[in-house]
Amino acid sequence: MSHDERMERRTGPDRERWLLLADVARAYYLDDLSKVDIAARFDLSRFQVAKLLKQARDQGVVSIEIRDPRRPSRDDDLARLLGVERVQVVDVTGTTETEGAERVGTAVMGALRHTLRSRMTVGISWSRTMDLAAKFLPDLPPCTIVQLAGALQVPGSGTLPQVISNLGSSPGIRTLPIHAPLVVDGAATARDLMRQPEIAQALERADDLDLAVVAIGAWQAGESSVWEKVSPADRDEAAAAGAVGEISGRLFDVEGSHVATALDDRLIGVRFDQLVRTPRVVAVAHGPGRAAAVVAAARAGFVTHLIVDSTLAEALADLLDDGS
């Protein structure tokens, strides 16, 4: 009997126990959370977490595979084809859209915890995934966290300042927020806002980032929160200039080169050249509709760690197999 068949036959307390084992194991093995973080999330002791992880292995909830370097994994294959240091694929099979985004967001927070070191300066951009990830914030070492873009309010989501505020709740963490929208009506308004000392300080600090966490959107309906906030004329101008994707509203073409349009002058956020100069960039994307944008972002050369869901990973594999 397969794992799925056994799962279907479980009911009541037995099923709840199995689901707890799966949730704890996923947090530890896939999301890279520590036992301390898992204990806090599930209201358990570290001893209970260790016991549950052992039970998950013993009962077949977890199957550990030793990867032979002579037989690369899908993640390794995608990393090689995209030219990035690491690709992390998050399995979202059988999940709702929100559940899948939460899994991806948890992986992003795990990557942040593992990459961030004491006294680093890290920039964070907004996305729906980052918004959902805010509930899984790990303990972070003393550092400076820079908001990379103004707020972008979408239905059913929070705002980046909330995420920044939550991250800054840990001892020793300094935050540099941007209390402004990402997109404003005119270039003069953008210039005035960027002269405000607090906003100017955050944007200037983006010149000296050690690490950035950003989201990749595709320049098309339903695949970019920024697309939804600008006019049809803005969309058409960007598409005509060759834009296929965006990061915090900064557009890029199929080769990963910045696409300059009038929209640039109305954005309150990190510039494309600042991202290019950042030593380590964790980029996140989900959904098959973003495949071409992810390939283009990888060609830009600044993404070092890419986190995608399994539906996007499949679309990337198909696109790259076609030689795109």
Q: Which CATH number characterizes residue 10's domain?
A: 1.10.10
| Per-residue pLDDT reduced to its tens digit, 274-311 | 999 999 999 999 999 999 999 999 999 999 999 999 99
89: domain CATH number is 3.40.50.1360
Encoded tokens for 203: 């944007």
- Asked if residue 242 belongs to a domain, the reply is yes
Distance CA(98)–CA(78), nearest Å, equals 25
Counting Cα atoms < 13 Å in the Cβ hemisphere of 115 gives 22
Q: What is the largest CA-CA distance in the chain?
A: 66
CB 291 within 8 A of CB 316: yes
pLDDT band at 161 (very low <50, low <70, confident <90, very high): low
- Beta carbons within 10 angstroms of residue 75's beta carbon: 16
Residue 14: partners with Cβ closer than 8 Å, 6 or more residues away: none
Task: Answer yes or no: do 116 and 185 share one domain.
Answer: yes
Give the predicted TM-score (pTM) of the model: 0.78
In a domain, 69, yes or no: no
Fill in the DSSP letter of residue 152.
-
pLDDT tens figures, 210-232: 999 999 999 999 899 899 899 99
Asked whether residue 14 falls in the same domain as residue 108, the answer is no
Residues 17 and 81 in one domain: no
* pLDDT over 90 percentage in the chain: 60
199 located within any domain: yes
Do the beta carbons of residue 125 and residue 148 sit within 8 Å?
yes
Looking at the fold, whether 50 and 91 belong to one and the same domain comes out as no
| 126 lies in the same domain as 274 | yes
Domain count of the chain? 2
Cα distance between the two ends of the chain:
41
Per-residue pLDDT tens digits for 119-139: 999 999 877 777 766 666 667
Same domain, 244 and 141: yes
Collapse the DSSP code of 56 into the 3-class scheme (helix H, G, I; strand E, B; otherwise coil) and give the result. helix
Question: Cα-flanking dihedrals φ and ψ of residue 163, to 5°?
Answer: -65, -45
**Cβ contacts of 1 within 8 Å, gap of 6 or more:** none
Within this chain, do residues 12 and 80 fall inside the same structural domain, yes or no?
Answer: no
Q: Which among 320, 317, 321 has a CA at the least distance from the CA of 89?
A: 317
Place of tokens 């972008």: 152
- Determine the structural domain holding residue 275 and report its residue range: 74-321
Q: Does residue 64 sit within a domain?
A: no
Is 65 among the domain residues? no
Q: Same structural domain for residues 264 and 198?
A: yes
Q: Residues 106, 277, 154, 311: is their CA dihedral positive or negative?
A: negative
Judge whether 66 lies within some domain. no
Check whether residue 42 and residue 96 sit in a common domain: no
46-58 and 12-25 helices cross at what angle (nearest 10)?
Answer: 100
68, part of any domain: no
Say yes or no: 201 and 102 in one domain.
yes
Supply the Cα-derived Rg of the chain in whole angstroms: 20
- Residues 43 and 188 grouped into a single domain: no
| 167 and 29 fall within a common domain | no
* Pick from 177, 179, 185: nearest CA to 206: 177
Residue 63 falls within a domain, yes or no?
no
pLDDT higher than threshold 80 for residue 322: no
